[in-house]
Amino acid sequence: MYKIPPRSVDTPFGVYDNLPPGPAEPLPERSRNVRRVGHSDMNGWGDTMTLQVRDGFLYSAHSGTDGHDGLTILDVKDPTKPKVVHQTADKTSIARSHKIALVENVLYTNMEKLPGAGMEDPELIGGLRIFDVEDPRNLKFVNYVEVEGWGIHRPIYDRARELLYCSAFKDGCRGKVMQTYDVSDPFGPELLSEAWIEGQNEAAGETPSWDFDYVGWGCWLHEANPFGNYATCGFWNGGIAMFDMTDPCEPG
């Protein structure tokens, strides 16, 4: 029987690296009160991590574990016949762009380095890529937001306040922290603030404020979701946290 893995290890990516292998063949389809109306093999690109739909087009980000890492756009105006209209590939095993945020005609994709080759590639800088998707068949790169460390993991849009919450690496901090961007100009995000759990900022001499014997270094941000003037945050093995974002320049 599969046992729960150790709570944490001293690396940002190794917390659950002893998961059991996946099935060798596709599992048989099973359903309850739902039926499949269409299917696309996306030209063999699998392992879809994030899906978003707008105006009859589906945007799919792939995590790369099956050998394909990048973005697929499908025309799904006829959901029975989804059709691939665009694909953009990334350097598999070096970096991944497996998370997206769609804001009107603007698409944000993360760029996160992976352990190994990605850390040694001088041309690879982690951050956030910004595309104009007014014409989904002809994706247009517009801007790139560079960040420290290994890059950005997940961007999430607060539509009501025109803010973008990103889990991102910061030099001197253990694991990912929350970065808040003003995206009132969606093609030119402005960094407003950074926030973390006390103990993450080793460079500032902080010590863990959590139960280190139980959690170890497994307290770092996976994602932040808007909830009114608050950001609700999942901190992996460290549990959850909420930041008061009434003033997004000064998280409380």
Q: What SS3 state is found at 44?
A: helix
Cβ density class 33-68: b for 16+ within 10 Å, e for less: eeeeeeebebeebebebbeeeeeebbbbbbbbeeeb
CB 102 within 8 A of CB 139: no
Chain centroid to CA 83: 25
- pTM to 2 decimal places: 0.85
Going residue by residue through the chain, which has 252 residues, state the pLDDT in tens, using 9 for 90 and above: 333 334 444 444 444 455 566 677 777 878 889 888 999 999 888 778 899 999 999 999 987 666 677 899 999 999 999 999 999 887 655 677 889 999 989 999 998 887 655 556 666 788 999 999 999 999 999 999 999 988 999 999 999 999 999 999 999 999 899 999 999 999 999 999 999 999 999 999 999 888 888 888 889 999 999 999 999 999 988 899 999 999 999 999
Tokens standing for residue 177: 């922290």
